[in-house]
A and B are shown apart, each in its own frame.
Chain A
Amino acid sequence: MRKTKISNKIIFISLTFLTLLLYWYGKEIANYFDSKWLVKYPKHYSFPFAIYTTTFVKWLINEANFLLFTFNDLTRFFAWIIEQPYKIVLAIFSKGILRGQGQDAIQIIEPLSWISVVGIFFTLALYTKDKFLIILVVLSIVYLAVFDQWQSSMITLSSIIIAVPIGVILGILFGILSYKSKILEKIITPILDLMQTVPVFAYLVPILVMFGFGPVSALIATIIYAMPPMVRTTLLALNNIDPQLKESGLMSGCTERQLMWKVLIPVSKPTLLIGVNQVIMLSLNMVIIASMIGAGGLGYDVLASLRRLDIGGGIESGIAIVVIAIALDRLSQSFANLPTLSKKTQLTFYNKYKKIIFLLSYIISIYILGYFFTFFKFFPKELMINTSLFWEELVKYININYFDNLESFKITLLTFFMLPIKKFFLGIPWPWFIFVLTIIGWYFGKFKLALLCLVMSIFIVTTGLWEKAMITLYLCGSSVIIASIIGIPLGVWAGLNDRANKILTAFIDTLQTLPSFVYLIPVVMLFRVGDFTAMIAVILYALAPAVRYTAHGVRNINSQIIEAALISGCSQRQLLFKIKLPLALPEILLGINQTIMLALSMLVITALVGTRDLGQEVYIGLTKADIGRGLVAGLCVAFISIIADRIIKAGSNKLKNKYGIK
């Protein structure tokens, strides 16, 4: 035992040493042997995955035929199914019912007025019986009217109202299927892995090509993006049900269907609702991105203002998205936590549906009042507040007064922190990098993980995207390092101090509700474009899990262990460094893992501010509508995150096993 430990250490030290050596002298060595391929993978050896993918997708769309119908018919059919409910919801919230086309259209029935929408959300919030929440939700909706974001907000809301139920239902169905059949689970799980790791931009183009530019495509992209956690949650919930509960259902004489719908699904309801919350948040996260392929609404407003460099407008619409996100998040969370346990009494029809009856009569009376007073129809223009000028002035002010400070901060970090890391990743010869990665895989996960690392990294090399992948690694690495340096101490603090925990949790919850795109807006304004800007945005977006997991790890140590340490005479400091931190380490690792995952997903979005990594490649694929290029680069990003994920999780599990904690 001892011996293997020592030899492991020797291997580790020599590997590090060799890596550093190759980093300093790699180029010289390659030149000496006259083998430049060591440092730079030769272009003519790269395999044209991109072209093949493009050809395949084109074949699918233009020629694929399933006897009775073509692939194209199939996609049209799906699009049609999604379009119908979307049209109805859009009519209710935004357009009303029109007769005629385009300019000549006459509105027969008006959409819901802003007052009615406030009423709907008020009623929803009433069910939670949480006064604070009711106020929050109502204020949020009123905000949208007062700050002149109503039209766009309702379009965005309509797409959420469609995307979320479809995502939830499909998610539950796939979850049930993979619960019922081990084979299906084995097929679905890796697909989910890819769906969650391939950046959204990469599959926007294929969707665009298959379903055309427009809100339906945007909805489909949103559903694909938001559904995976629902599948996982469903599967997890079903698998975690006490087997005795299932047996008691069977012994009560349930058929298989009764068992699923009368026992298993209702029992998992609390967990499933957490999944619903996630689907809502991810759908909101897609609002801006989906507008690239035709979603209107707030997302489009943000994108358009960014393109016109209209700083104020961008911030205004961005804040509106955030407001919707926070309201929907809190609302769905409290539905998930709703205490179902209370004494039931037989309710009459009226008592049971009192709130809904009130709401309906409220909406009808508002509708009638709308004929007489426009106030009930539209929020009066004179009362609206426009903040875009304010934001513009603010940014101007900061840039004029603090430009030098910001700039020197940026340059210091760039030269002394980011550039060395960049040089490191770009300097190491790729064969050595793959070799070390495979060994790491072997150390943590034996043959299987080693093979995974080897195959995936070789894929990246052969696509010819190695250099860009290294830039992705460097950006991701530097962001994660800084996020950890900030996040872990904060997490420890939150873990030790209840007050800190409360404040930080509230802060982080809010950070996590913000759609990823929103982070870009202020950062671009302060630091303009470039790697540094990207890094700051990534850090902001990816900080949360580092804090959250650390706090959780520090907090959840068995209290008897703490007592034992205190009895042994530990000081608070010793308690932290000798007991709490080592025991929290597996959890902290998982937090860093999540941070890496978020960082990678954010990196693709930061391609918009001019990074030269895989994200940029994906983005080029999107702008040039080059299906293959985007997908292949997207796959590379996915592989990087899968490798990182598997290695860190294996490491965390290894530690947990060592300590015997679960």
Chain B
Amino acid sequence: MHKSPKLVCKNVWKLYGDKPKEFLQSHNYNPDKRIIEENGYIQAIRNATLEVYENEILVIMGLSGSGKSTLVRCMSRLVDPTVGEIFFENIDMGKLTKNELIEIRRHKMGMVFQHFALFPHRTVIENIAFPLEVQGINRTEREKSAMEIIDLVGLQGRENYFPKELSGGQQQRVGIGRSLAVKPELWFLDEPFSALDPLIRKEMQNEFLKIQNSLKKTIIFITHDFDEAIKLADRIIIMNEGRIVQIGSPEDLIMKPADDYVKEFTEDLPRERLLSVKSIMNNQKQPSNSLTVYEDEKIFSILEKVLSEGSVSVIDRSNNIVGSLNRETVSRFINN
């Protein structure tokens, strides 16, 4: 599978304090965390390098203060990185003029905010049409586009409500709608569901996946909730104290945590529901058993089969045998 990077961050740093650039320069662009703090700086992002691929959901995960929000704001240049380069479709974001940046935001980027950030003085439709309005698109045309979006996010009949009259979930639908109004290619979601009740959150997550299935955007999604990350992500970036600790698929994180910090996150998860057969199978291809399981099935769904049968063959979706799985491996995995 060929993956082309949509957005690339190279050695991005963000320090807060007096003349941070000079400080980094004088410390060879790699000061110790201790030295940074002793000099009165705050390290928001430390040497972040990453790629975001076309049409993937990349989740950035970390506790509050880990720098995930700052990193995303550097990508959209709401915040200027102290040093480092960010390329969006091979354009160096750091070199854009004010107007070029505005143009990119008007056509290629959208962002959803944790606390919705709806304009309280505008109705639902005016909020959603706002990005079009600032581009100078006339009223009938922008309201027509906005109505399509209102259908997409399921707010039919509420277009003339003010944000205050909506529930939290509905408000975030408006936020999502507004960010989609310009048909962006890069879609930032900054903890979009954190402020919602658990049940609504689940509903919104599903809806979000549904929208993504039809729109296929390149998504950067921030959350501090590991369950949410696992549920939505193609890949996950784990951040701690401004540093990127690990980048990988959910399974990578569970099976091969980069350090204790990541391990702690993954420890209490229902692993049998998250991991697929592939991640624990033996690669030896044993002679064909009567029973087979697919390599991308989740472990919990084949548990009974393996435990009662003793051993099964693992096949891929084209029915080639790719490995095997026996009772011992499975029970070790469960008791682990």
* B78 and A343 contact, CB distance less than 8 A: no
Least Cβ–Cβ distance between A346 and chain B, in angstroms: 9
* A255 and B119 contact, CB distance less than 8 A: no
Stretch in contact with the other chain, from A153-161, A246-254, A366-374: A246-254
**In whole angstroms, what is the CA distance A343 to B131 when docked?**
22
Say if the beta carbon of A9 comes within 8 Å of chain B. Answer: no
* B114 and A263 contact, CB distance less than 8 A: no
* B114 and A244 contact, CB distance less than 8 A: yes
Least Cβ–Cβ distance between A2 and chain B, in angstroms: 31
Say if the beta carbon of B222 comes within 8 Å of chain A. Answer: no
Say if the beta carbon of B327 comes within 8 Å of chain A. Answer: no
Say if the beta carbon of B19 comes within 8 Å of chain A. Answer: no
CB neighbours of B179 from chain A (8 A): 251
* A244 and B113 contact, CB distance less than 8 A: yes
Least Cβ–Cβ distance between B111 and chain A, in angstroms: 4
Which partner residue on chain A sits nearest B108 by CB separation? Answer: A253
Which partner residue on chain A sits nearest B160 by CB separation? Answer: A344
Interface residue from A255, A258, A340, A343 paired with B121 (Cβ < 8 Å)? A340
* B115 and A254 contact, CB distance less than 8 A: no
* B134 and A258 contact, CB distance less than 8 A: yes
Least Cβ–Cβ distance between B231 and chain A, in angstroms: 24
- Over the window 467-478 of chain A, the binary record of Cβ atoms lying under 8 Å from chain B Cβ atoms (1 yes, 0 no) is 000000000000
List which A577-604 residues lie within 8 A (CB) of chain B: none
Say if the beta carbon of A242 comes within 8 Å of chain B. Answer: yes
Least Cβ–Cβ distance between A630 and chain B, in angstroms: 44
- Given A250-B78, A253-B102, A266-B121, are A244 and B115 also a contact pair (CB < 8 Å)? yes
* B134 and A248 contact, CB distance less than 8 A: no
**In whole angstroms, what is the CA distance A258 to B106 when docked?**
13
> Which has the most chain B C-beta neighbours within 10 Å: A244, A262, A340, A343?
A244
Say if the beta carbon of A345 comes within 8 Å of chain B. Answer: yes
* A266 and B119 contact, CB distance less than 8 A: yes
**In whole angstroms, what is the CA distance A248 to B76 when docked?**
11
* A263 and B164 contact, CB distance less than 8 A: no
* A253 and B131 contact, CB distance less than 8 A: yes
Interface size on A, residues (CB 8 A): 25
**In whole angstroms, what is the CA distance A341 to B111 when docked?**
25
* B131 and A252 contact, CB distance less than 8 A: yes
- Given A253-B134, A262-B134, A343-B161, are A248 and B121 also a contact pair (CB < 8 Å)? no
- Over the window 627-643 of chain A, the binary record of Cβ atoms lying under 8 Å from chain B Cβ atoms (1 yes, 0 no) is 00000000000000000
List which A171-185 residues lie within 8 A (CB) of chain B: none
**In whole angstroms, what is the CA distance A245 to B175 when docked?**
11
**In whole angstroms, what is the CA distance A345 to B131 when docked?**
22
**In whole angstroms, what is the CA distance A632 to B120 when docked?**
48
**In whole angstroms, what is the CA distance A262 to B121 when docked?**
10
> Which has the most chain B C-beta neighbours within 10 Å: A247, A252, A262?
A252
Say if the beta carbon of A269 comes within 8 Å of chain B. Answer: yes
Say if the beta carbon of B230 comes within 8 Å of chain A. Answer: no
Say if the beta carbon of B57 comes within 8 Å of chain A. Answer: no
CB neighbours of A342 from chain B (8 A): 162
* A345 and B160 contact, CB distance less than 8 A: yes
- Given A251-B105, A252-B105, are A269 and B121 also a contact pair (CB < 8 Å)? yes
Interface size on B, residues (CB 8 A): 38
- Given A247-B78, A248-B178, A253-B105, are A341 and B165 also a contact pair (CB < 8 Å)? yes
Say if the beta carbon of B219 comes within 8 Å of chain A. Answer: no
**In whole angstroms, what is the CA distance A126 to B216 when docked?**
52
* B119 and A263 contact, CB distance less than 8 A: yes
- Over the window 53-74 of chain B, the binary record of Cβ atoms lying under 8 Å from chain A Cβ atoms (1 yes, 0 no) is 0000000000000000000010
Interface residue from A248, A258, A266, A340 paired with B113 (Cβ < 8 Å)? A248
**In whole angstroms, what is the CA distance A269 to B119 when docked?**
12
* A253 and B178 contact, CB distance less than 8 A: no
Say if the beta carbon of A267 comes within 8 Å of chain B. Answer: yes
Interface residue from B73, B117, B188 paired with A242 (Cβ < 8 Å)? B117
CB neighbours of B106 from chain A (8 A): 252-253
CB neighbours of B81 from chain A (8 A): none
- Given A258-B134, A343-B161, are A247 and B123 also a contact pair (CB < 8 Å)? no
**In whole angstroms, what is the CA distance A252 to B135 when docked?**
9
Say if the beta carbon of B86 comes within 8 Å of chain A. Answer: no
Least Cβ–Cβ distance between B94 and chain A, in angstroms: 17
CB neighbours of A267 from chain B (8 A): 119-121
**In whole angstroms, what is the CA distance A495 to B188 when docked?**
47
CB neighbours of A245 from chain B (8 A): 117, 119
Interface residue from B117, B160, B161 paired with A248 (Cβ < 8 Å)? B117
Which partner residue on chain B sits nearest A268 by CB separation? Answer: B121
CB neighbours of B9 from chain A (8 A): none
CB neighbours of A248 from chain B (8 A): 111, 113, 117-119, 175, 178
- Over the window 220-234 of chain A, the binary record of Cβ atoms lying under 8 Å from chain B Cβ atoms (1 yes, 0 no) is 000000000000000
List which A107-131 residues lie within 8 A (CB) of chain B: none
* A255 and B134 contact, CB distance less than 8 A: yes
- Given A269-B121, A344-B160, are A254 and B114 also a contact pair (CB < 8 Å)? no
B binding-site residues for A, Cβ under 8 Å: 73, 76, 78, 98, 102-103, 105-107, 109-111, 113-123, 130-131, 133-135, 160-162, 164-165, 175, 178-179, 182, 188
7 tightest Cβ-Cβ pairs between the two chains A and B:
A253-B106, A252-B131, A248-B117, A244-B117, A251-B111, A253-B105, A244-B113
- Assuming A245-B119, A266-B121, what are 15 further A-B pairs, CB within 8 angstroms? A242-B115, A247-B117, A249-B119, A250-B78, A252-B105, A252-B130, A253-B106, A253-B135, A253-B182, A266-B122, A267-B120, A267-B121, A269-B121, A343-B160, A343-B165
Subset of 21 A-B contacts with CB under 8 Å: A244-B115, A247-B73, A247-B111, A247-B113, A247-B117, A248-B113, A248-B117, A252-B130, A252-B178, A252-B182, A253-B105, A253-B107, A255-B134, A266-B119, A266-B121, A266-B122, A267-B119, A340-B162, A341-B165, A344-B160, A345-B160
